[in-house]
Chain A
Amino acid sequence: MISPSIFVFAPLASAALFTALMVVRSRNVIHAGYWLLPCLLAVAGLFGSLEAHFFVVVQILIYAGAILILILFALMLTRDVMDPKQRQTTKFAPLAVPLCIFVGLGGALMMARAPWPAIQAAAPGPAEQTKALGLGLIGDYALPFEVASLILLAALIGAICLAKAEKEPAAPEPVIDLRGEIELEESVSAGAADGH
């Protein structure tokens, strides 16, 4: 039996898949960034079809809004991130396509047949959902919620560490430069003196 929700799910899911594929296929990295927008919106639509209202809003505001802008800004400020002429596939690419289709179809078949004990009959309303989420974040899932900030801290420090300019050897250089210039001046003046 096919439930009517498939008519909502199928277009959204195929849109998400197609745009995600375009993100990785685009040779111009700015284009890849733009393709991310419909992809994130399609995922927001999927959340909506699951009646996860809070996540729809978060997905649009945070991901499609804030994070995407941040990514585009970061790309704008970086030069030569990607060469549009460079090949992006390896010699294994033709192998990957059938493999992906096989794994994807196999996974879909498996999911369709398996019992889903975690499914609930009806999703709670928006107000209850958000309340349950908030309570979960400071209750049962307090530790994972707080620990996630450590990941951000580690990523932040790591990124600074990799991106900061290497210090040049400080003191001796200007002295040498100065001497060189003095010597040059002397030789020039000496040469000039010889010429006269």
Chain B
Amino acid sequence: MPDKSVIIGDMQAILPMIVLWVTASVIALGDVSLWKRGNKAINPLLAIVGVLVAFKFLVNTPRVASGATAFAKSLAIDPLGQISGIALLVTAVLSILLAWTYLKNRGLDHAEYYVLLLLSLTGAMMMASANDLIVLFLGLEILSFGLYVMAGFARTEERSEEASVKYFLLGAFGSAFLLYGIALVYGATQSTNLEQIRATLSSSSGAPGPMLLAGIGLLIVGLGFKAAIVPFHQWTPDVYEGAPTAATAYMAGAAKIGAFAAMLRVFGALTPVAASWLPAIQILAIVTMVFGNLLAVTQTNVKRLLAYSSIAHAGYLLVAIAALPSETVNGIASNAPDLAVGGALFYLFAYVFMTLGAFGVLVYLSSKGRDVQHVNDLRGLAKREPAAAYAMMFFMLSLGGIPPTMGFMGKWQIFYAAVTGQQIMLAIVMALTSAMAVYYYLRVVWVMCFEETTEAAAPEPVARTGAMAAIMLAAAATIVFGIAPNLLNAITGMGP
């Protein structure tokens, strides 16, 4: 029988996830019994309250700094889990606000959307704190199951259905790779626990065996699918385009944070055998940055453009992963790993604010029977909807990495970590491809500001308070944290 304090500690570690899961259950049950015919606004409101309560418990988790673990070491209680958890909750609040507007305007206002969103959020948080490969896999599956259905939520639309099926089939394929990788890593190290794996690897001498190499390779493929890394990215544009815009926004944020938090953990544990996987990560990072940006240039659909942009951003985040093993540079202890983790987390925050903001503008402009996603739909937006247009401008500038926005600060931090970790080649490619990216982001701004609208009448007024709130929150964060990045570190307890 374990000690009482151990049980309490374990419960405190998963309290935010329990809150999310309970909220999901309350919405699911309440919607079919208590407020069956009542106001549908209660579902998103409850969801937001649940996320805020989870946030409160997450920031107050005790023993974060001491590197404690919970549930027989299967869950880590550390800053990485806490901060990526905060990023996930921020994603959730923004996407619930967006969904509130979008689902209502598209006549899809069902409680199940919020239930699935909260459940998949629980999985993503589990994944971000996982200290064991089995927990990581289960978290990933919970995250994905929610996303598969959310992608197909507009069931009457063929595109949405296609997105859902495509995502499900390729996601299941990716999961199989991950699972096989976990099995091989277990076979080689006798453990699925990341701490234990790291200890085994650093105590064993000699080159890693073929089984471990194959296992690591399959882990890279499996996680690469979820993080949309080239060449495992083919599903991304189709799914981003076909899914309801609010679901795309959530998917873009939550899947990226979950996958990269997991990657930071897994590759952190594999640091002792870094020589075997670092070249692969370097090549993938370069290919992802180059192809993500090149393919984005020709896109005329904003959702597809943002999909390729999200692939490119996955490439920048891989640069941070590549800087992880640089614990010593030229024999001197280096702080590159800490810089890489801090930079990646800051970048994930920036990514969430600017990407969800950009999707938010599309949600804001969409109305019943009119789903805004083509660049031409944005023509002359600065005159029609100045507030949305200026917010979109900030998001595009931030995505392009132009100061003084958050996107610039995030890129700078990863760039700095890469240079400190002696990944000069990656830093150069990152700077060049970022410059290339400015072109297609600025084209959107150009279309909004300098091209004449082709639409005759103003769109009918629709309920869009939620989307406006989300856009304003995201725009404010993009600028404020771009000017004062330390503020974010102070709020989340992040950074040195």
Contacts of B75 in A (CB 8 A): 143
Contacts of A113 in B (CB 8 A): 210
Bound form: Cα–Cα A115–B75 in Å: 29
**Most B CB within 10 A of own CB, among A110, A114, A144, A155:** A144
Contact, CB under 8 Å: B149 / A147: no
Contacts of A139 in B (CB 8 A): 72
Q: Mark A134-174, 1 if CB is under 8 A from B, else 0.
A: 00000111111001101101110110111000100000000
Binds A, one of B140-148, B264-272, B396-404, B440-448: B140-148
Select B132's contact among A110, A118, A144, A160, beta carbons within 8 Å.
A144
Q: Mark B105-142, 1 if CB is under 8 A from A, else 0.
A: 00000101001100110110010000010110011011
* Residues in B65-112 with C-beta less than 8 Å from chain A: 70-72, 74-75, 110, 112
Judge whether B186 is part of the interface by a CB distance below 8 angstroms.
yes
Contact, CB under 8 Å: A157 / B135: no
Contacts of B209 in A (CB 8 A): 114-115
Bound form: Cα–Cα A96–B75 in Å: 39
Q: Mark B253-270, 1 if CB is under 8 A from A, else 0.
A: 000000000000000000
Judge whether A191 is part of the interface by a CB distance below 8 angstroms.
no
Nearest A residue to B70 by beta-carbon distance?
Answer: A143
Nearest A residue to B209 by beta-carbon distance?
Answer: A114
Contact, CB under 8 Å: A154 / B146: yes
Contacts of A114 in B (CB 8 A): 187-188, 209-211
Contact, CB under 8 Å: B138 / A148: yes
Judge whether A107 is part of the interface by a CB distance below 8 angstroms.
yes
Bound form: Cα–Cα A54–B246 in Å: 46
Judge whether B432 is part of the interface by a CB distance below 8 angstroms.
no
**Most B CB within 10 A of own CB, among A117, A142, A143:** A143
Nearest A residue to B112 by beta-carbon distance?
Answer: A161
Contacts of A160 in B (CB 8 A): 112
Contact, CB under 8 Å: B122 / A162: no
Interface of B is mostly: helix
Judge whether A111 is part of the interface by a CB distance below 8 angstroms.
yes
Judge whether A92 is part of the interface by a CB distance below 8 angstroms.
no
Contacts of A7 in B (CB 8 A): none
Contact, CB under 8 Å: A157 / B155: no
Judge whether B462 is part of the interface by a CB distance below 8 angstroms.
no
Contact, CB under 8 Å: A143 / B74: yes
Contact, CB under 8 Å: B139 / A158: no
Bound form: Cα–Cα A114–B152 in Å: 43
A115 to chain B, nearest CB (A): 6
Bound form: Cα–Cα A155–B145 in Å: 6
**Most A CB within 10 A of own CB, among B148, B188, B211:** B211
Given A153-B119, A161-B110, is A118 in contact with B187 using a C-beta cutoff of 8 Å?
A: yes
Q: Mark B360-383, 1 if CB is under 8 A from A, else 0.
A: 000000000000000000000000
Bound form: Cα–Cα A78–B454 in Å: 47
Contacts of A147 in B (CB 8 A): 126, 135, 138-139, 142
Contacts of B28 in A (CB 8 A): 157
* Residues in A81-118 with C-beta less than 8 Å from chain B: 107, 110-111, 113-118
Contacts of B119 in A (CB 8 A): 150, 153-154, 157
Judge whether B156 is part of the interface by a CB distance below 8 angstroms.
yes
Bound form: Cα–Cα A53–B75 in Å: 30
Judge whether B334 is part of the interface by a CB distance below 8 angstroms.
no
Bound form: Cα–Cα A118–B120 in Å: 33
Bound form: Cα–Cα A107–B132 in Å: 25
Select B145's contact among A116, A142, A143, A154, beta carbons within 8 Å.
A154
A119 to chain B, nearest CB (A): 9
Nearest B residue to A139 by beta-carbon distance?
Answer: B72
Bound form: Cα–Cα A155–B123 in Å: 13
Contacts of A166 in B (CB 8 A): 155-156
B46 to chain A, nearest CB (A): 16
Contacts of B72 in A (CB 8 A): 139-143
Contact, CB under 8 Å: A162 / B149: yes
Judge whether B465 is part of the interface by a CB distance below 8 angstroms.
no
Judge whether B49 is part of the interface by a CB distance below 8 angstroms.
no
Nearest B residue to A158 by beta-carbon distance?
Answer: B149
Contacts of A154 in B (CB 8 A): 116, 119-120, 123, 142, 145-146
Q: Mark A45-78, 1 if CB is under 8 A from B, else 0.
A: 0000000000000000000000000000000000
Nearest B residue to A114 by beta-carbon distance?
Answer: B211
A1 to chain B, nearest CB (A): 20
Contact, CB under 8 Å: A110 / B211: yes
Judge whether B232 is part of the interface by a CB distance below 8 angstroms.
no
Judge whether B190 is part of the interface by a CB distance below 8 angstroms.
yes
Given A114-B210, A117-B190, A144-B138, is A151 in contact with B112 using a C-beta cutoff of 8 Å?
A: no
Contact, CB under 8 Å: B190 / A144: no
Bound form: Cα–Cα A143–B125 in Å: 14
Contact, CB under 8 Å: A150 / B122: yes
- Contacts A/B (CB < 8 Å), 21 sampled: A110-B210, A110-B214, A117-B190, A118-B186, A141-B72, A141-B74, A143-B14, A143-B72, A144-B135, A147-B126, A150-B21, A151-B142, A153-B119, A154-B120, A157-B112, A157-B149, A158-B149, A161-B149, A162-B152, A162-B155, A162-B164
List 6 A-B pairs, minimum CB-CB distance, nearest first: A158-B149, A143-B71, A114-B211, A154-B145, A140-B72, A161-B112
Q: Known pairs A114-B188, A158-B148, A160-B112. 4 more at Cβ < 8 A?
A: A142-B71, A144-B134, A147-B126, A151-B123
